[in-house]
Amino acid sequence: MADETERVAVSDLEELIEQLPGVLRCQVVTNDWGGIEAVHVLSSLERSPKQTVRDIESALLARWHLRVDRKKISVAQVAAGRPQGGEAPRLRVAGWEVEHDAARGRVTATVLLAAAEGETVIRGEYRGAYIPSQQPLPMALAAVEALNRLPGGQAFALVELREVTVAGHPVFLAAVSHLGPNQQEELLIGTAVAGPDRAATAVRAVLDAVNRRLGRVAVQGAAAVAASRPPSPEDGEKEDE
């Protein structure tokens, strides 16, 4: 629990944190009595999330004697550019379908992912209760299940899926937790402007989060885990070029 010895303006906290190496943006959330509840940071790849968290802890302690629980600090990273030597493979939607069982109130969502280059297909599936107001959620969860089948010891979890309005347009925002082979957790943020199909937009937001950070994910040579053929256009397949 944070031990704030003095009340500090949020703007001052954010100004200090944004001066740290690699930090691009920062948002500090406080409670009614000024205690720090959350610190959300957007950073470059200059420093690892763990290093950024330590920088924030040290800066707040040195400047205002503030001790903040590191669990309250979340770091999302944005790649500054493409790796040299050619464009890195990016995941895209190769197909998807949703089946509703109205009698039982259940839904089954299936998402097929592939690299922008190559033909390896990875299949993710989600089964759960059908809630009309949360229709895009099963598709996003199915996409995350597909991501968890990637080789290399990666682990993903959907933390939050939210629809917001930006400049008068609906936009999906996906927060995805990523645990790499080194067991270091980081929060990835992705967005996608909503199209006619809100469920497909939710999947694009998830992939936007992952592709920003994992441009080097090697899906070439991964075992194809699709248990059945990709849904055909007649079955309702949607392409996301």
Query: Digits of tens for pLDDT over the chain (241 positions)?
Result: 444 445 788 888 988 998 888 888 888 888 888 789 999 988 877 788 899 999 999 999 988 889 999 999 998 877 644 444 444 457 888 888 888 887 888 999 999 888 755 556 788 999 998 887 778 899 999 999 999 987 766 789 999 999 988 888 889 999 999 887 667 788 888 898 887 888 888 999 999 888 866 654 433 333 333 333 344 333 344 334 4
- 10-77: CATH number: 3.30.300.30
CA dihedral over 68, 44, 190, 217, signed as positive or negative: negative
Write out the CATH class of domain 91-234. alpha beta
β-pairing verdict for 36-43 and 73-77: parallel
Residue type (1 letter), 212: R
pTM over 0.75: no
CB 82 within 8 A of CB 88: yes
Q: Closest by alpha carbon to 61, among 143, 106, 53?
A: 53
Pairwise CA distance, residues 146 & 210, whole Å: 12
* Residue-range domain boundaries for the chain: 10-77, 91-234
